[in-house]
Amino acid sequence: MKIGLRILLGYFVIVALAAWLLGNVFVQQVKPGVRQAMEDTLADTANVLAELATDDVLAGRIDDGQFASRVRGLAGRDIDARIWGFRKQSADYRVYVTDARGVVVFDSTGRDVGRDYSRWNDVYLTLRGEYGARSTRSDPDDEDSTVMHVAAPIRDADGRIVGVLTVAKPNQAIAPFIDRSQQAVLRWGLVLLGTALLVGVLAAWWLSRQVGRLQRYAQAVTAGERVQAPKAAGEFGDLGRALETMRDRLEGKQYVEQYVHALTHELKSPLSAIRGSAELLESPLPEADRLRFVATIRAQGERMAQMIDKLLALAAVEHRQRLEQPEPVALAVLVEEAVAQVETEAAAAGVSLVRDEVDRAAVVEGDPFLLRQAIANLLDNAIDFAPRGSAIEIALRQGDKAVQVCVADRGPGVPDYAIGRVFERFYSLPRPQGGSRSSGLGLCFVAQVAELHDGHAALANRDGGGAVATLDLPSATAS
């Protein structure tokens, strides 16, 4: 499971737990809290009414006295009140009084006078001097029909309990307030939950993106690709820079080791030739043989010098991960400079350099020195294989998104087995007419320069014989 998904799932569990706790707190605390507040109000009301009813109870006229008349008149009163957005038109109270035996002697609704309420908790506990209250369903099958009853004692002059006054109020009377609070909590809870999930998704996406970039960077480095450390903020940026520093140091050590082995291997052949020629020169030789061996020593020495120079140039390119200061480069100018650079070599080989097609408007972003040297290397390679008396065709074409440099010759072409290896380091093919192999670094240099410029180098056979080398680079006008 990816780290982003793990983070999202963990965050979702936390948010879901928070939502569950919120709902649980509402059910366990908010609803009971509202009912507790109503019970407190009913207790005050019951005690006030008990004081007002005392005289009529002691006088034996509680059912037809002034107190009863006033309480019954409450049913016809139009309250017409606006309470926090809800309209209240009538009182929801029911008031009844029981005597010292628990028998109802007054009921504001008139339905239970004469009934024995001595077993109901509100009456039973109050007659024993305790706080009496109960919550009972008016309809046994309806859980929303509960009515809260709170009682207060009626005492005579000596303090004896002679009756109980109970005030009852349906819990449904406060249901609109609870429902509104519940909807508000639910609504804002969902908003909070949605916002939290959105933040979680964004955070998980950002973390996954940062980790993914570092992962792809590490995989590219492992594969030996030329990549730049990803840009990131905070600890991810520090980690990326640390990985890049570690890669540079490790690659530097490995690079030197590889090049020492490669250079040692490639120098064995010319050194052996020089050593053999030197040993032969120590003994008397005909003048012609002496000159031939001296020429061999000179040629092999030049070969080693060229190999070292090209190896150093290739190392400088391969070790670079990016162009530090790319600039607009007119490739037509570089082509002319590269042609001028190899004209002497071409004349010595007996081949001509022909500009087949040169687009003067072709411009790329890059390093002019590296690009000039890459084009010169393509020309050098073509000169090595072009037959004497033939022409090397040079073309520069501007496409929609890319610029292409083509160098074509009429040599023997590229064998099928070598097509996929011509850009490898130190890989070279035998020259026509028995010429010595090259260092095998020129085309590798071209491929590295192309990659450094986000381009591509290729070598293929052409119709009619010969080979064509292409250097494709992104056009600066396409961006």
pLDDT class of 440 with cuts at 50, 70, 90: low
Please tell me whether residues 336 and 317 are part of one structural domain: no
Residues in the chain: 479
Place of tokens 């190896």: 311
Is the pLDDT at 74 greater than 50, yes or no? yes
Looking at 306, 321, 336, the residue that finishes a domain is: 321
Range of the domain at 26: 3-180
Position 98 scores a pLDDT of: 96
Exposed, middle or buried, 396 (CB in 10 Å: 0-12/13-18/19+)?
A: buried
Position 318 scores a pLDDT of: 53
Please tell me whether residues 60 and 143 are part of one structural domain: yes
What is d(CA 354, CA 409) in angstroms, rounded to the nearest whole number?
A: 10
Please tell me whether residues 313 and 331 are part of one structural domain: no
Place of tokens 């590889």: 258
Is beta strand 456-461 parallel, antiparallel or unpaired with respect to 467-474?
antiparallel
Please tell me whether residues 415 and 301 are part of one structural domain: no
List the structure tokens of 297: 């020593």
Q: Is residue 210 part of a domain?
A: no
- Of the candidates 228, 223, 226, 225, which has an alpha carbon nearest to the alpha carbon of residue 240? 228
Query: Percent of the chain having pLDDT more than 90?
Result: 25
Q: Is residue 220 part of a domain?
A: no
Strand partners, 86: 83
- What's the one-letter identity of residue 224? G
Looking at 295, 321, 347, the residue that finishes a domain is: 321
Q: What angle do CA 299, 305, 306 make, to 5 degrees?
A: 90
Please tell me whether residues 268 and 306 are part of one structural domain: yes
Q: How many other C-beta atoms can be found within 10 angstroms of the C-beta atom of residue 465?
A: 13
Q: Is residue 232 part of a domain?
A: yes
What would the pLDDT profile of 150-178 be if each residue is shown by its tens digit? 999 999 999 999 999 999 998 887 777 77
Strand partners, 147: 136, 170
The CATH number for 307's domain is: 1.10.287.130
Whether the predicted model's global pTM rises above the 0.75 cut: no
What is d(CA 209, CA 114) in angstroms, rounded to the nearest whole number?
A: 79
Q: Is residue 150 part of a domain?
A: yes
Please tell me whether residues 479 and 335 are part of one structural domain: yes
Among 160-164, 168-172, 215-219, 350-354, where is mean pLDDT lowest? 215-219
Looking at 304, 321, 338, the residue that finishes a domain is: 321
Among 96-110, 183-197, 326-340, where is mean pLDDT lowest? 183-197
Is the pLDDT at 255 greater than 50, yes or no? no
Please tell me whether residues 409 and 438 are part of one structural domain: yes
What's the number of domains the chain is made of? 3
Q: Is residue 31 part of a domain?
A: yes
Among 15-19, 42-46, 221-225, where is mean pLDDT lowest? 221-225
Q: Is residue 263 part of a domain?
A: yes
Q: Is residue 198 part of a domain?
A: no
Q: Average per-residue pLDDT in the chain? A: 79
Please tell me whether residues 264 and 384 are part of one structural domain: no
Position 19 scores a pLDDT of: 72
Q: What is the dihedral of CA 54, 56, 57, 60, to 10 degrees?
A: 160
Please tell me whether residues 238 and 347 are part of one structural domain: no
What would the pLDDT profile of 362-421 be if each residue is shown by its tens digit? 888 888 877 888 888 889 888 888 898 999 999 998 888 889 999 999 988 888 888 888
Please tell me whether residues 316 and 328 are part of one structural domain: no
List the structure tokens of 405: 């440099």
Please tell me whether residues 313 and 353 are part of one structural domain: no
What is d(CA 376, CA 442) in angstroms, rounded to the nearest whole number?
A: 9
Among 186-200, 325-339, 409-423, 424-438, where is mean pLDDT lowest? 424-438
Q: Is residue 72 part of a domain?
A: yes
- DSSP-assigned letter for residue 432: G
Please tell me whether residues 373 and 463 are part of one structural domain: yes
The CATH number for 130's domain is: 3.30.450.20
List the structure tokens of 432: 């026509």
More confident: 145 or 266:
145
What is d(CA 272, CA 144) in angstroms, rounded to the nearest whole number?
A: 107
The CATH number for 392's domain is: 3.30.565.10
